[in-house]
Amino acid sequence: MATVAESHSPFLPATFFFFFFFPRLLLGLLPVILFLLSRFLLLRNRRPSLHLPPGPKPWPILGNLLHVGSMPHVAFSQLSQAHGPLISLRLGAQLVVVASSPEAASEILKTHDHDLSGRSVPHVSFARDPELNRDSIAWATHCTDQWRSLRSLVRAELFTSKALDRHSEAREKQARDMARFLERRQVGEEVRVRDVAFAYMFNGLASAYVSRELVQLEGGGGDVERVSGIVREMMELYAAPNVSDLYPSLGGLDLLGLRKRTEECVAKLREVWDPLIISRRREVRTSDRPDGDGGRDFLDALLDVGFSDEAISYTFVEMLAAVSDSTSASTEWALAELLKNPKTITAARRELDGKFPRGHVIKESDLPDLPYLCACVKETLRLHPPAPLLLPRRAARDCHVMGYTVPEGAQVFVNVWAIGRDPRYWEDASSFKPERFIMAGGGGREHDVDYKGSNFEFLPFGSGRRMCSGMPMAIRMIQLAVATLVHGFEWSMPEGAAAAVEEMGMEERYGVTLLKLHPLVLIPTPRV
């Protein structure tokens, strides 16, 4: 949800689309490659020998970039099978350490959480600005007192049980609007599931942030497609390779123009909410805002603590745009897995139909009575975590992990995608089996593996001080979306589709958010 931290504000550093962007990247590297080579030869004999985690031998200058390819989470998983659960690589000049087992994850996220809780900020990110970095939840370079205070504010205003319940009716309205939109489709009309889910997520979050809807599913001149398209482009730019991320000593360069393009995307997104921020500040100054807790939202809270308009706007980039992208992708994955595994969607509908009549509007308060459906969401996040490597941590100082040195300045990733598929912990690990989270004979109680980051074999939202603080809201919204889509509609492939719904491809598209390579385009039919 990642939201605001490891999972739901998931801007991974621009190092991992090397495979796709290699020709352009190489052209950008040519002017500096001789300079880098001379520095490499000069410094290699001065660098003290460190007992780094094992890994493939790097090439000069390029390092291990060619080992990574277009699917780094898969490549890292394969490399860990050859070299061990904790590996090291060089992506360009940047040292990277990757943990791919629950034991290694526990060492990084728990035992050495303090030493490894820094952030490496991508060079295309607005958080490179020191003032904006200070007010960032996801990208604050250090876990300062200011950062801790901000996380506490966010939790109190948005993610406590009281705060979640305060805005539940607004989120439920968005779920009803999503269902009505689907019901009004003409017979045989196709919908793109990710866009429908994006509108629900974006407006559901906006209800808590600014107390109003920000996009329209219909009648808005392609509003959802436009905003979601901007968000998607921005997220892809964050994942594209920038020379400055591969070679930190070249931090002032933007040879591929990625930073400029990212700034253009952010400027377009700010047009969606900046007028509201300006208007609200004017209301506060003139005492036109309603008194009492009932009229208060997250924007009011940020104004109260003295955030500038610019800092608020960039907070919304992290906590509204990025979170909507990852949670809508998770909803798409969940529906795809249920449709591809007919027994599971039949079981989910049996549970829903046994407790609620057809046409019943599912509410968040109904979700605890739907253990199988909630297990379906949990199983989806095991197989398809929103950010498969979490956000990159940075070693604030040298530390020793599993007998190896992780030097100061190293980027540190936790491969939660690989951990969620570890056959030592998960029987038939690659299969979609929601029942694994239901205790046998437990009367529908979910298995004792939760989202809170204490079970290191299951970390879709991370763990430790950098864990996603938005997890409680993200889970509620994904579960409500999936329940609404499954209970209210039958789903079929468009006419002329290459495969039946049970045979659809489940290939991944790596990036800031782990997407389905082929977007889910389906025909909804209301269940009557």
Of the candidates 6, 4, 3, the one whose C-alpha atom is nearest the C-alpha of residue 467 is 6
Q: Is the four-CA dihedral 506, 510, 515, 519 of positive or negative sign?
A: negative
Give how far the C-alpha of residue 336 lies from the chain's centroid of Cα atoms, to the nearest Å: 18
Of the candidates 224, 204, 215, the one whose C-alpha atom is nearest the C-alpha of residue 158 is 204
Angstrom distance (rounded) from CA 355 to CA 353: 5
Question: Does 143 appear as a known binding residue?
Answer: no
Of the candidates 63, 65, 60, the one whose C-alpha atom is nearest the C-alpha of residue 21 is 65
Angstrom distance (rounded) from CA 9 to CA 525: 34
Three-class SS state of 405: strand
Three-class SS state of 26: helix
Torsion of CA 473, 479, 480, 486, to 10 degrees: 160
Of the candidates 167, 494, 482, 490, the one whose C-alpha atom is nearest the C-alpha of residue 328 is 482
Angstrom distance (rounded) from CA 72 to CA 16: 7
Cβ neighbours around 24 below 10 Å, total? 14
Of the candidates 108, 103, 107, the one whose C-alpha atom is nearest the C-alpha of residue 391 is 108
In one-letter notation, the amino acid at residue 7 is S
Angstrom distance (rounded) from CA 212 to CA 279: 13
CB contact at 8 A, 115 and 97: no
Angstrom distance (rounded) from CA 5 to CA 467: 6
Torsion of CA 393, 151, 165, 362, to 10 degrees: -20
Of the candidates 156, 233, 137, 201, the one whose C-alpha atom is nearest the C-alpha of residue 1 is 201
Three-class SS state of 326: helix
Angstrom distance (rounded) from CA 528 to CA 353: 12
Provide Rg for the chain, Cα atoms.
Answer: 23
Angstrom distance (rounded) from CA 323 to CA 1: 5
Angstrom distance (rounded) from CA 450 to CA 91: 34
Tell me which residue has tokens 């277009």: 70
- 411-414 and 489-492 as β-strands: parallel, antiparallel, unpaired? unpaired
Extract the annotated binding site.
Answer: 468
Extract the annotated binding site for heme.
Answer: 468
